[in-house]
Amino acid sequence: MSAAHARRVAPAYTHAITSLASLGREAAAWDDLSVRAGRAHPFFGRHVMQAHLASGLASPDMGVVVVHGPERLEAVLPFRRSYDICGLGRSVLLPFASPFITASAPLVAEGPDRSAILAALVEGLAAASGGRAWRWPLLSVEAAPGDDLMAAMAEAGWDLGEVARFARPVLDRRPDHGAFLDGHPHPSRLKDLRRRQRRLAEGGVVSLQTVTQGPALARAVEGFLDVEAAGWKGAAGTAMACRPAHAAFARALFRAEGGPVDIRADTLSRDGTTLAVSLALVAGGTAYLLKTAYDETARAFAPGLVLEAEIVRALHAEGFADRLDSATLAGSALESLYRERDTVAEIVAVPERARGLIGLERRLRLARFEETARGEARRLLRR
């Protein structure tokens, strides 16, 4: 069914551009949308965006494209404007991003009217652009809602092109841990992790503690900040504790509030001494392992990866989620542990009125050149 036909037979859906502060006053409606969005990521939900606002990483007047139906909020996308090489002197629009957002698909309600909601959202994106292109990073392009969004853009006459893509490790829960291990493509990695875990245990009692709320959760967050700051990130000044806004964000984000986003903190210890901490957001049946830090004096035992393997074991024992999302970029160490992949891409999306004299291919060439240059800079910094 075409988007135009969907708009005729479905209830009226209207788009608008509001501010983050205004949307925050619709807290119940925003949380309700997060619940109805199914397996959508949590980063554009109220909990995460309000943590950005509270810590100063987002401004109250930041723009948000929203779609309302007759009774409820149906879609949300925070966005920003920036000058970019593929804009050729003009600004482009991007979904809101920070160092702690690892996915950028809009928050869209599931249901029989989803195509009409997406059509209204795409109209809102075009209105927000003001004749400019969108540059869209970290979009899952082979799974909903990313692929649905691209289909709605294409149907509305947008030009779409891909700058780059990578495969992000994810893990779907099996019936039990044995089923996960059976036929694993990297048995040598699993054997190595078991060996390192035995070596860890030779020095004392190794334990895993999981907390989800209360003072114990707050202590786990502080433990993470301390462990991360004690390592190379602390020496480089990039640990979250080194930047007041980032530390404030961590404390606001990894705090249970009783809404649609749950918090999980896993700590690996030996004789009471913290070896590694993982902080995760759990929403829509997926646990996003957003931050992990480990004691670098115990690097030989790979405590961070041992902790990740224990979280996989707990996933199958407890069923706290249906999927683990590594929330990483390309080249993650979890590629040898997790068995599935999520295809994540950066796209350039050009509304019909933004085409002008700048063709899509020219924008893509410039964006790919910039991406290559950034990759080379990162490579040189690692040397």
Three-class SS of 212-244: CCHHHHHHHHHHHHHHHHCCHHHHHCCCHHHCH
Under the banding of pLDDT at 50, 70 and 90, the label for residue 378 is low
- Whether the bond between 351 and the residue before it is cis, its omega within 30 degrees of 0, is no
- Give the pLDDT confidence of 24-50 residue by residue, as tens digits: 999 999 999 999 999 999 999 999 999
- Round to whole Å and give the CA distance between 275 and 36: 38
Joined tokens for residue 51: 């943590």
Amino acid, single-letter form, for residue 338 = Y
* pLDDT (0 to 100) of residue 8: 45
- Round to whole Å and give the CA distance between 44 and 53: 12
- Strand blocks (E) in 271-362: 273-283, 286-294, 323-325, 340-350
- Give the pLDDT confidence of 58-87 residue by residue, as tens digits: 999 999 999 999 999 999 999 999 888 777
- Give the pLDDT confidence of 281-334 residue by residue, as tens digits: 999 999 999 999 999 999 999 999 999 999 999 999 999 999 999 999 888 999
What pTM value is reported for the model? 0.92
- Strand blocks (E) in 295-339: 323-325
- Round to whole Å and give the CA distance between 49 and 45: 6
